[in-house]
Amino acid sequence: MLAIHRILVPVDFSEHSERALDEAIGLAKRFGAEVHLLHCYQIYPAGAVGFPYDVALPESYERAVRESATARLSGWREKATAQGIRVEQHLSVDFPSHGIVDLAEKLPADLIVIGTRGLSGFKHVLLGSVAERTIRHAPCPVLAVKHGKAEGAGA
């Protein structure tokens, strides 16, 4: 049987991520595991590949993004700690699937619980999804949670 001590929950502050957190809270209660919340954000500096403008973003912009992300992540942390779960929060400026895999390796995570989004058609073919990339490259099992009412939360 899989021993679950550390659950990584990547969040983008969407309803999909909230549903994944609810599932992770239920699992953490069952296994006595700790939850690690991760939010990845990207800042595109001038000259970056794909960045169409030749302007430098002020340092205050990155600081404001980081502070806002930290505050929002803290609110999500409080949701889990209110249910008796040990929680740590992490921020990354990496592309989401890379940041998720990197942190999963560093912890090391026993399970990643990630929300899915229903991309379809041509956009999906071109971009794939963070959940799919995470599943392909993760060093541990990944539970991909579809949006809907959580069954494991509050268990």
Whether residue 50 lies inside any domain: the answer is: yes
CA distance 19 to 64: 27
Query: Residue 42 is part of which domain span?
Result: 6-145
pTM confidence score: 0.83
* Residue with the larger pLDDT of the pair 151 and 16: 16
pLDDT (tens digit, 9 = 90+) per residue, 65-86? 999 999 999 999 999 999 999 9
Confidence (pLDDT) at 34: 98
Number of domains in the chain: 1
CA distance 41 to 92: 6
Whether residue 153 lies inside any domain: the answer is: no
Q: Comparing C-alpha atoms, which of 97, 83, 86, 78 is closest to residue 12? A: 97
Whether residue 44 lies inside any domain: the answer is: yes
Whether residue 151 lies inside any domain: the answer is: no
CA distance 96 to 77: 19
Total residue length of the chain: 155
Whether residue 130 lies inside any domain: the answer is: yes
Whether residue 152 lies inside any domain: the answer is: no
Q: Stretch 31-53: mean pLDDT, rounded? A: 78
Confidence (pLDDT) at 45: 60
For the domain that residue 63 is a member of, what is the CATH number? 3.40.50.620
